[in-house]
Amino acid sequence: MRLARISIVGLALGVLASPVGAQRAFEEVVIPLLQYRTADTRVLADTYDADLRLLHADLRRCVPELDFNQPGIGFRKPRGKPQLAPHLSIWMIADQSVGPNGEDLATKAADAFQRYGRRLFRRLLARDSIGADPRMGGYGVVLTWMWTPPGEDLRGETLVVFVDGASAAGFVAGALGASALLDHADIRLFEGDVEQPGVRVSVNDAQVKEDTAEDCR
């Protein structure tokens, strides 16, 4: 499975091929137009290139502890749902120093979303011109954290969350809790490059982190 197909598949393969370091430049992380396989995603990417650059700058300023996957910014659709409109999406990576805590995948995914979910969705929703476009279907956050299991090599675990625009807006505004957002969302979890179906992510709404910088709220 290849990331060039612009679907959320083969997640860890793309992550592990791109070591985490200083935040990557926009040209390294935006999905190239030639890699889009559907006209609706390609048209949005071409139309909103300037907004995607601003999104990249927002993320570098407001969530500096995370890096970008390659590719990490663009328009995607949840896998297996080609009938849906494109979702403005970001794919970020947390190295071991800022990754989530927990003993299992579900616990770490919950902690990751509590740390970064609202902050990342807020950056997506800040692109008003994209959100107002009737061709838009929603938003997607892909978050990978790196860790080293005892006696094993470094690998990634990944949480994928796609959700409609109204639910994302309610979550960012505080009218919808993290638990309710995830109830509305299309969620997938991966250990390495292997999907783990049926794992429930239970978050604590009181533990959801907010941006601390005034110009990031």
Supply the pTM of this predicted model: 0.90
**What are the two backbone dihedrals, phi and then psi, of residue 109, each rounded to the nearest 5 degrees?**
-65, -40
**Residues 64 and 58 sit within 8 Å (Cβ to Cβ):** no
What is the pLDDT confidence band of residue 20, given thresholds at 50, 70 and 90? very low
pLDDT digits (tens, 9 = 90+) for 92-150: 999 999 999 999 999 999 999 999 999 999 999 999 999 999 999 999 999 999 988 88
What is the spatial distance between Cα 86 and Cα 145, in angstroms, rounded to a whole number? 25
Treating both helix axes as pointing N-terminal to C-terminal, what angle do 165-173 and 105-125 enclose, rounded to 10 degrees?
90
Matching residue, tokens 């796609």: 162
Task: Give me the amino acid identity at 78.
Answer: P
b/e sequence 13-29, b meaning 16+ C-beta within 10 Å = ebbbebebeebbebeeb
Using DSSP's 3-state secondary structure scheme, residue 214 falls into helix
